[in-house]
Amino acid sequence: MSTQSDTERAYVARERAELDADPAAGVDSLAAHYRAKGLTDETARRVARELTVHDAVGAHLEAEFGLREDDYTNPWHAAASSAVAFVVGSMLPMVAILLLPVGVKIPLTFVSVLAGLALTGAVSASLGGAPVRPAVVRNVFGGALAMTVTWGIGHLIGVAV
């Protein structure tokens, strides 16, 4: 999580250096961004010039990265969100491992882990203010792939649960 904050700070430093080196190119770049969003060339250039006069670095950060210079990712908040999500998401697989009959334990634990991963992704994204669907899809797909590969390797080398 600190990496995200460090990356955001690096964006700010890079934007500041680029704008200091060539302010006119910064206006051109910002105008191009607004033209791509559908503004006419004249309007895009006017918006770029006005925003640049007010706060050049801030205008570029918001337009290019959706980032505000004074609003970096808080690693402690992200870590707390992940911890809560992990605890909530781990409950389903734990119940499956402890309570299911031996004959269905492995396939139903697999399913419960996927449900737990979906729950973990949803809780973590919600607490962090991020879109829920991509987090759930990423967690479920990555978890299913990891479990399948692990099971396949175990099967190949003759390890059984």
Nearest residue to 51 via CA among 69, 72, 34: 34
Distance of CA 100 to the CA centre of its chain: 34
- Model confidence pLDDT, tens digit, residues 40-97: 999 999 988 988 888 888 887 788 777 666 665 556 766 777 788 778 778 888 888 8
Residue 2: per-residue pLDDT = 46
Residue 1: per-residue pLDDT = 47
Contact 71, 102 (CB under 8 A): no
The rounded mean pLDDT for the chain is 82
Rounded Cα distance, 98 and 152, in Å: 24
Contact 89, 83 (CB under 8 A): no
Domain edges within the chain: 2-65, 75-156
Nearest residue to 85 via CA among 114, 113, 126: 126
Contact 124, 135 (CB under 8 A): yes
Greater pLDDT, 40 or 129 = 40
Rounded Cα distance, 152 and 112, in Å: 19
pLDDT of 146 > 60? The answer is: yes
Greater pLDDT, 19 or 98 = 98
- Model confidence pLDDT, tens digit, residues 9-27: 676 778 788 878 888 888 8
Q: pLDDT band for 131, please (50, 70, 90 cuts).
A: confident
Which alpha helices (DSSP H) does the chain contain, by range?
2-21, 23-36, 41-65, 75-99, 102-128, 132-156
Nearest residue to 5 via CA among 69, 61, 59, 62: 69
